[in-house]
Amino acid sequence: MRPDLSHIDTWLFDLDNTLYPEESGFMREVEGRMTEFVMKVTGLAREEAYALQKKYLAEHGLTLKGLMLHHGVDPAEFHALFHDLSLEVLAKDAEMLAALSRLPGRRFIFTNADDKHAERVLGHLGLRGLFDDVFHIGSFGYAAKPDPLGFQRMIDAHGFDPAAVSFFEDSEHNLKPAADLGMTTILVGGKALASTAPFVNHRTAKLTPFLITARLKETT
């Protein structure tokens, strides 16, 4: 059945592993550099550093937030780790560009990454001009997804009506606060179809086919 998104006029997208497939392996490179940074900051061996990295992610929604709170890490120093990563594994997708272009209303990025990373990735994918704004980690004062405060700051900044917003994410737990606010939630990626979370409205392994087949609001 075609997903009915005819009530949507605001389109909210996570960036990493959502606007490009997880299979690209790009986020494995990000994660590897993150582990090396945790090793440097804490003096831990790789295995212990990786475990701490995941612990902070689970507790705070963002490894960086744990590093800031417990180790005084400067977020600018942390984000600079990823600004020279090669983007060659990320392929431009003409079908996705067309699918995004047909969406009526406003389009936004909502990411726990910083502004430079978001601009680099969107530019490489040829998608930068399709979005009205990038709401990045600095925009919401490091109240990272799934912190409801980050969602509320985004709503306040852009005047969203949550009932008319769809939110696309590859991380299931980041959809819970969106659903609580009344947004339509779409889980994207290889694990999406196996999800049974009651707060997920739609599930799709791949973003582009979902957007192409969705029923949209009619425009005149």
Ordered domains of the chain (ranges, CATH): 4-22+91-216 (3.40.50.1000), 26-80 (1.10.150.450)
Return d(Cα 163, Cα 9) in angstroms, integer.
9
Share of the chain above pLDDT 70, in %: 99
**Res. 220: pLDDT tops 70:** no
Share of the chain above pLDDT 90, in %: 93
Return d(Cα 202, Cα 53) in angstroms, integer.
30
**Res. 54: pLDDT tops 90:** yes
* CB 167, CB 183: distance < 8 Å: yes
The model's pTM: 0.94
**Res. 4: pLDDT tops 80:** yes
Name which of 99, 98, 93, 95 is nearest 214 in CA terms: 99
Task: Please state the separation of Cα 198 from the chain's center in Å.
Answer: 20
| DSSP label of 186 | E
* CB 154, CB 135: distance < 8 Å: yes
Question: Residue 218's pLDDT is what?
Answer: 83
